[in-house]
Structure 1
Amino acid sequence: MIFSQSLVRYQVPKEVILHAKKRAVKHKVAGVAAMGGAVAVGTSVTVTACLDIYEAVAIIGVTSVSGPFALVSGLLALGLGIWAGVKLWKRGNLLLDEPEIRENLNKIMIKTIEAYDKGEYQDVLNALSEKYNEKTGDCLLKLTKHVDFIKTDELIETLLRYGFRSDGIAYLLNLLGEVLCSGKVKVEGKTKKELKILAISVFNGALSEKLVDDAKKLDDRIFELRKGHIVSTFNKIKDYVSLKEYSDIAKEHKDDAEKMPFQSRLEEMRNITRINRAIFDILAAGEEEIERAIKTIKEVQDSIDNNYQFVNSAKWRYEVLEDLLWVISGKESFAESSEESPKLSLITY
């Protein structure tokens, strides 16, 4: 995959992980405080109630009317306080799993990219097959039997849930698709043809609307952040004192947004996906496949025209793909060549 990896982020920012850890600790501290406060308040009310009862019995020989109610109220306060405290404590323990999972996923991503860069494609599959959650045994990829397949939607949802950016996820899917169709990996019980079918499924995942929605949301948040510094400062204070999820935006995301919108970063990955799919169609050399490839290449050209100020590797691949299409089928993808396109001519790389 020829492009600068600085275009995407394939790890969860450290500050997001740090906030997740602090949030978990806050829940546990709040739980202890709730239980301690409940014991103090509940016990004092209960003891007072008991003294009222016994004092009334000793003096007038009857039970105080307010005593039983105070006793019940004290016990209720004690019970509710302890219950709430235990809930917060347990919630804190569960939340502590999240930063650990995110750190594990980051390590898996680093191993995956390093193996890919070295051309060790089998190790790419091995890295993605490692458990990211030791308690549940969950992993991003499980290809150990002939019947196994890649649940691309679940993979996307998992990475989005734990704070990965859409452009980084699309990059991973493109990388994985290329590995699967490289002919350099082996999966027990699966033929090279079956692996290529898996690769196409993975490439399709990179075009998921979930990724588009996530990129748009992040761009919108950046826009709102630029509108009001006061709101940003308020969010930082709120994150510091509250038990809620991280509402600020990681610094590296803010820095990246200054250079290129997240939707444009994702679109670059989507164009690479489209080109990869078109290559499959061109190599198949069937009439329907060639027509579909021509349509796909036109989509890439339109995308490049609309995002020309950000385009890099997709343009390079696009031009190579046109040459390949012409050599195999003798057809051009569209009437206007890239040299004639006014916006394409402005691109430098």
Structure 2
Amino acid sequence: MKKALLALLFYQVILVGCTTSAVAPDKTGTGRQATAATSYFTNPIADGADPWVIKKDGYYYSCSSGNGGIYVTKSDKLTELGERVKVWETPDTGWNQSNVWAPELHPFNGKWYIYYAAAKKPGSPFVYQRSGVLESVSDDVFGPYEDKGMLYTGDSIQNPASAKWAIDLTTLKLNGQLYAIWSGWEQNAETDKTKQHLYIAPMSNPWIISSNRVKISSPTESWETGGPLDLNEGPEVLKHQGKVFVIYSTRESWLKDYRLGQLALTDTTLSPLEPENWNKSGPVFQGTDEVYGVGHASFTTSPDGTENWIIYHSKKTTKPGWERDIRLQQFTWNADGSPNFGIPLPAGVPIKVPSGEE
């Protein structure tokens, strides 16, 4: 361990020594020292959890929850997410007045949509979580936003009140059809110690699920089970070379064994509504002795579009709980077109900034 720490310190010293600088004249003519932007950053880049980042028109937009609302940021740098701006506040009453979790920001048809989970009662047990959507009234990502209501996430669409427990909803657009994918319970329960599965359903537009849900994944593999609660959650869509991947989180979010699994729709002419068309593998990204509980990731590219990056959260300690931070690193692709996320890098290790950000 001592040798590893000395090697890391030596590497950091070399990097600092390689930083370039230039002298630029100021208005007084005496000149000032201007240091060139560093080519490296270190994880973590921020506190928080369930990071959602999307790139559009040369900017990175992120979405998060806290203090009774939802926040959006805008930045031209992936390593600096920007100032948080509150775009929506929870109502005083209703199904979505508390426990706002894991919002995601998606652009459709010139507007922005925020998908999120919330509950009618604060705190635990977390048995009232349902999924909803907000719609911007214009193309301005900072709103204002209109509450489009709860999304239907159950088995009897003729009865909207029969929606089932649902969190972490995201979208998939495939062959001209929009789908919702989320984590849910088979039946509503009185305890939050309930197994979670992944579901999919078609959407008639960005705020209406138009059919009953279909289960596409359950925590059944050895690397998905073994703890106090079996779960699949945090599904995120990743496309590459004509294939569709759903990268999801499994094991317990409050423990160090949280990790990522993968569903693959390798033939996109097949229906994603048929569970047998999805192939499961994993874990595809998991913690180490130095990085704990990696999960709930999103994906984007470098500013110049030449690199692929994963943004994820990890636990700050091995102690059970939800104290987490946000990290990012570059990933590559395997020969079969599937993502290769590698191994999570420890905090403090210098990482070259995304290409085009320097």
Fold shared, TM-score > 0.5 on shorter chain: no
The structure richer in helix per residue is 1
The structure richer in strand per residue is 2
TM-score interval, normalised by the smaller of the two chains: under 0.3
